[in-house]
Structure 1
Amino acid sequence: MQHNILKYKNKIMSITGLLIALGLISHFIFANTTIFNSAFIIASILGATPISLQAYQAMKVKVVSIDVLVTIAVIGALFIQNYEESAIVTFLFLFGSYLEQRTLNQTRSAIKELTEMAPETAFKQLTGGQFAEVDIDEVEEGDILLVKTGAKIPVDGRVTTGKGYVNEANITGESLPLKKEKDDEVFAGTIMDNGTIQIVADRVGEDSTFGKIIELVEEAQDSKSEAERFIDQFSRWYTPAVLTIGLLVWVLTKDTELAITVLVLGCPGALVIGVPVSNVAGIGNGAKNGILFKGSEVISHFANADTVLFDKTGTLTEGKPEVSDIIHYGNNQEEDLSLLLSVESESDHPLAVAIVNKLAQYKVRPIENTQVVKGGGVIAHVDGHVVSVGNKTLMKQESIPLSDDVLKKLNKLERTGNSIVLTAVDHKLVMLMGIRDKVRPGVKQDLQKLKSLGIKNLIVLSGDNQGTVNSVKKELGLTEAHGDMLPEDKQAFLKRRQDSGEIVVFIGDGVNDSPSLATAEVGIAMGNGTDVAIESSDIVLMNSNFNRLPHALGLAKRTYANMRQNILIAVGVVIILLVSLIFSEWMSMSIGMLVHEASILVVILNAMRLRGYQLR
């Protein structure tokens, strides 16, 4: 019974409104007091039913909610035979509740739009080689799928044959279609603008990037910020306080109508709705623009941040370094390059990938007894040789001498922004290699935008040599640059900044960044970074789109400001109503409730502005 009443609450509101209209018509047009009173009494009782049920449910869990205030006010108004006031109060309260729910549903449109974009079918290759349309639930990892022009890509995968242009706007926020050909990665939910491709399924369903985005946005919009938790706690003592004040007013004045009016005017409806609707609207805007906030708590932290720490490779730079210099000191360059290629072929580090790409024409030999030296490099046995590949620290640890000439050339390469890879064979240096990674296009302008948004400190932390990070600092106009840092060094540096009172943001993309991402008040992962980095972060920039970072910060600041505006509006309305009740004669229950609902509409409209926010 209770469930059905609450289920049809909106219909009850509509009937209540019609009864109020009937009562007003009978009074002002036909001067019929009987119909007037009957219509308003029925409207009051009908409208108060779902409100009183909600009050009862709240009281069962020892929460004195706003519904309790309204229920007592309506009963009191009926008791003093003020039927018009009681009916209008119930209708306006139900209408406000309807407005709140409708608005929250609209601001959650990001999830709805994403869900509607989710592919439902796919063209799967069958045993005979032909393709047939199947339900998306029938697709498994390793299946070959056909995607034609205008179709949605059904899973995360890699292109095996064909080529075309894919619109990834709903994943990355980037409106320009991207060319896809053999071995390129594609994402579920993106649209094949032009062309035909076949793909092999790597991740399906909830495991796909698209599935994870929906899950993250849902979790974020259901989370509560510090301000929302404060308001929840505030409501627990505020409502009993208003009841106490109403009781004191009645005891002191014996004026029941005045006491009931105090209860109505004290309802903080706009305060309850104002903060959640701001956060949900802000998170929805981010999802549309390739920015995933993992909760409303993150927004307030990010909005107040004053220091941003950056990893270098893959964050400020493209993460696709290329070999710029090779200086050989051994007797057989081809043999040494082959040994180096064999060792680096075992690694997926960006510097190793650069070396493998450069030396692809050489022979890869079998490797034995590989030893990874943390913060130094790799030592391996290849064809009877001991091959050491890494930095100066590794060479020192292995007692491999570096001549003055080597150190001179090494320092020169570092000063020009190169990362250094040294190779020793059988404890003798045979090669010095310089590898350079290009700075992402537009990063300098994006960093200037961060400064204009109030970020005081822009600091790069990297495992690269100090010369390389100094070069990046100079090129991008950063505040500080720190090189030769291990993962624990980055985390320790971050903690020192936090201990000095700074609110710190860390941005990275690698496994070694995960401790810092988890430690920072706000950890931001580049979207094509490792799964570990994405899981341990608070914000994800999809497709590693760095130029979304200023938009994310601007959106967080605007959302935080919007939330504070809504709190100010809500509290201000309650104060004005109570002051008006004391110092004026025109204030009444129905007028007070009308002003309350108007304030709810104002905070809702204020929050809705966030849906269209764009950084200028």
Structure 2
Amino acid sequence: MKKLPRWIHGNWPVPVLSGVLIAISFAIQWLGAGAADISVGPRWWVDAGDHATHTGGAFTLGDAFMLAAAVVAGYGIAVKAVRALIVRVIGIDLLVSVAAIGAIVIGNFWEAAAVTFLFAIGHALEAATLNKTRSALAELVAVAPDSAIVVRDGGQQEIPASQVRMGEIVLVKNGAKVPVDGQVVAGTGALDEASITGESIPVEKTEGSQVFAGTVSRGGFLQVSATGIGADTTLARIIHRVEEAQDAKAKTQAFMDRFSRWYTPAVMVLALVAGLVTGDVVLALTLLVIGCPGAMVISIPVAIVAGIGRAARNGILIKGGEFLETSAKISAVAVDKTGTLTEGRPRLTDVVVLDPALERTEVLRWAAAAEAGSEHPLARPILETAEAEGVGPRGVPGTVTPVPGKGIVSEVGGRLVLIGNPPLLEQYGIAEAAAEAAQAAEDLAAEGKTPMIVAVDQRVIGVVAVADQTRRDAPEMVARLHRAGVEKVVMLTGDTRLVAEAVGKATGIDEIHASLLPEDKLDAVTRLQRQGHTIAMVGDGVNDAPALATADIGVAMGAAGSAVAVETADIALMGDNLLKLPEGIGLAKRTVSVMRQNISIALITVVLLLAGVFAGGVTMSIGMLVHEASVLVVIANAMRLLRNTSDSTAMPRAGRTIAPTTEPVPV
């Protein structure tokens, strides 16, 4: 019963009632009831010789129903036209209103009813289809949880999700939706995060894991401490962003809006001139109907809404139509190395022993002891490995003196330990085994690893090397970007040239820029822009901030849970999946292609109909029918973007095979 009131207040009652009245009119005329003259479209006047003279011809009961149908369908159209005129806007509604009123004045009730009825149906179908294209947003809203089970007063209480307090413990059971953003404090489970990241494979969650509102438990039991509630959740931010993005206009859409503001008055002038020159009022009114730019007006926004909606459903947030359009032009992609092409989690890969009197574990123990008081990021993998092998440092470390650009000097148990590069050895006058150590360090660096020479009391004992791991999907991402039409993939990194080249070789990067400061990355981006490229920059938003701001499109990866990334990035990839980048660019290109197709369909339809009117044979009602059909074709074409088709960029070109990466490459 609740559906009926919604239907009555929707877009369909007017065209349905108008259609019923038209059917009754035809039935009356067919039965011959109410008048002797049962011809379709009776007139207020009839021809008398060479002149049209008013005769007050018979007005039948069928005419009355046809006129009523025109009034029912045309009233709302006329009201919209008047409201638009008040704010000095000449739109489609005015064209239809003038044509319908003119048809009534000359006694052509059938044409008036047909034009308004078809226009009302087109409006209802257009509204319904636009709602369909916004289905991704509706789905996001639908996954928002309504209730939550919290621990209060020593027991479980079910409350509305909006009433959960920050820091409160929320229980997530099998099959339930997570009602808040938070951190797991106890329990294990698997969550379906498709609504956030677009990935359908459930993610294992344990103590310390982050969870997001709107995700669904597929097994297990979790106790979650709420860190984000209500509008502060990742899901709420995504919904807000998608809502704004679907309403934002692309440059092409803004142009079409300006074009229609001039086009509509031009059609009215054309109709007036044609009527005055030919003396044919019906021709003038028909031109008004034929010239309606409805398909042109709807062609761009429906494609943008569908494209952004499809992207959001796949975990790709695009800021708006302008950025969607720009993304389709991307010809070069600049990526940071650490955390983008690599995992961002360095590991100890090698321990080279240069002192025959020592074992591997002893070299590792001295290196870990020296690094125990260091804040350098590369200290952690050395310490973790030493702990795992049972030779981790004990107690409080001695003094640690960092030597910028060279390494550290540490006091361990009264002995001087150096760990760093060859210039550090030279600074402390260590000549013994320095050449051998330098060669070992160079060999490791050539493999893309970061070597550190270890010396104890003026004696070189070995070399340890740390490396990040290249992501498994990084080579495939580069290959797919090329297949998506990106000419150049460029690495911008602050790491050394040897390490950067190792990553570039492993991933197929086209161009490498190493040892860069943040301002150097900015210069690299502007240099590519001067070469004529449309640049997308992928980075972490910290040291890459200047380059991200300068690039034509700034891309944030792994943005789930990051409010800053979701709100500031032009494109935010919610998951940590590199392949989402070429997928997003490919979708942008398909969307722009649909936009162009729609504009072509709209223009060709108008030209053919105008030609048909002047050539004869296209009436007002036929013109409106074809016009509304073109609107539906344009909408249906845009709705193809909503289909969850496989990524076309994933398919290799004929004759080209890409071998999958089975193991991550240390760099």
TM-score of the two chains, using structure 2 as the length reference = 0.82
Q: Distance in 1 between matches of 2:211 and 2:127?
A: 37
**Cα deviations by residue, 1:135-154 (Å, 9 ceiling, x for unpaired):** 21222222111111111112
1:14 CA drift (Å): 2.1
1:312 aligns with 2:341: no
Residue pair 2:372, 2:397 contacting (<8 A) in 1 also: no
1:57 to 68, 73, 83: 83
1:148 aligns with 2:176: no
1:458 to 469, 473, 489: 489
1:39 aligns with 2:41: no
1:175 to 181, 195, 200: 200
Residue pair 1:508, 1:533 contacting (<8 A) in 2 also: no
Name the amino acid aligned to 1:42.
A
* Counterpart position of 2:230: 205
Q: Flag the 1:238–1:392 CA change in 2: closer, same or farther, 3 A.
A: farther
* Counterpart position of 1:557: 589
Mapping 1:105-504, distance limit 5 Å: 105-128=131-154, 130-325=155-350, 337-338=368-369, 340-344=371-375, 351=378, 354-355=381-382, 357-358=384-385, 361-362=392-393, 407-419=438-450, 433-504=464-535
Residue pair 1:534, 1:540 contacting (<8 A) in 2 also: yes
1:515 CA drift (Å): 2.3
* Counterpart position of 1:22: 24
Q: Distance in 2 between matches of 1:382 and 1:339?
A: 7
Moved more, 9-18 or 143-152: 9-18
Q: Flag the 1:144–1:515 CA change in 2: closer, same or farther, 3 A.
A: same
**Cα deviations by residue, 1:13-68 (Å, 9 ceiling, x for unpaired):** 22222111111221233364512211122222232221111112212222111111
Residue 324 of structure 1 aligns to a residue whose secondary structure is: strand
Residue pair 1:527, 1:534 contacting (<8 A) in 2 also: no
1:12 to 8, 11, 14: 14
Residue 225 of structure 2 aligns to a residue whose secondary structure is: strand
1:194 CA drift (Å): 0.8
TM-score of the two chains, using structure 1 as the length reference = 0.88
Q: How many residues align?
A: 601
1:362 CA drift (Å): 3.1
Q: Distance in 2 between matches of 1:391 and 1:120?
A: 56
Residue 374 of structure 2 aligns to a residue whose secondary structure is: helix
Q: Flag the 1:163–1:39 CA change in 2: closer, same or farther, 3 A.
A: same
1:446 CA drift (Å): 2.9
1:336 CA drift (Å): 6.3
1:352 CA drift (Å): 5.7
**Cα deviations by residue, 1:516-564 (Å, 9 ceiling, x for unpaired):** 2222112211125865444432112222111222322221111111111
Q: Distance in 1 between matches of 2:9 and 2:130?
A: 17
* Counterpart position of 2:55: none
Q: Flag the 1:394–1:459 CA change in 2: closer, same or farther, 3 A.
A: farther
Q: Distance in 1 between matches of 2:383 and 2:71?
A: 79
Q: Distance in 1 between matches of 2:573 and 2:429?
A: 44
Name the amino acid aligned to 1:26.
I
Residue pair 1:166, 1:180 contacting (<8 A) in 2 also: yes
Q: Flag the 1:143–1:248 CA change in 2: closer, same or farther, 3 A.
A: same
* Counterpart position of 1:80: 106
1:423 CA drift (Å): 9.2
Moved more, 531-540 or 553-562: 531-540
Q: Distance in 1 between matches of 2:213 and 2:205?
A: 14
Q: Flag the 1:122–1:256 CA change in 2: closer, same or farther, 3 A.
A: same
Structure 2 stretches of 5 or more lacking a match? 1-7, 39-59, 356-361, 649-667
Q: Flag the 1:359–1:54 CA change in 2: closer, same or farther, 3 A.
A: farther
Q: Distance in 1 between matches of 2:225 and 2:517?
A: 37
Name the amino acid aligned to 1:547.
L
Residue pair 1:343, 1:367 contacting (<8 A) in 2 also: no
Mapping 1:535-546, distance limit 5 Å: 535-546=567-578
Q: Flag the 1:429–1:12 CA change in 2: closer, same or farther, 3 A.
A: farther
Name the amino acid aligned to 2:545.
S
1:91 aligns with 2:93: no
1:270 CA drift (Å): 0.8
* Counterpart position of 2:47: none
Q: Distance in 2 between matches of 1:228 and 1:424?
A: 66
Q: Distance in 1 between matches of 2:291 and 2:608?
A: 10
Q: Flag the 1:185–1:329 CA change in 2: closer, same or farther, 3 A.
A: farther
Q: Distance in 2 between matches of 1:332 and 1:476?
A: 33
Q: State, as a whole percentage, how many aligned pairs show the same letter.
A: 40
Moved more, 269-278 or 327-336: 327-336
Residue pair 1:320, 1:438 contacting (<8 A) in 2 also: yes
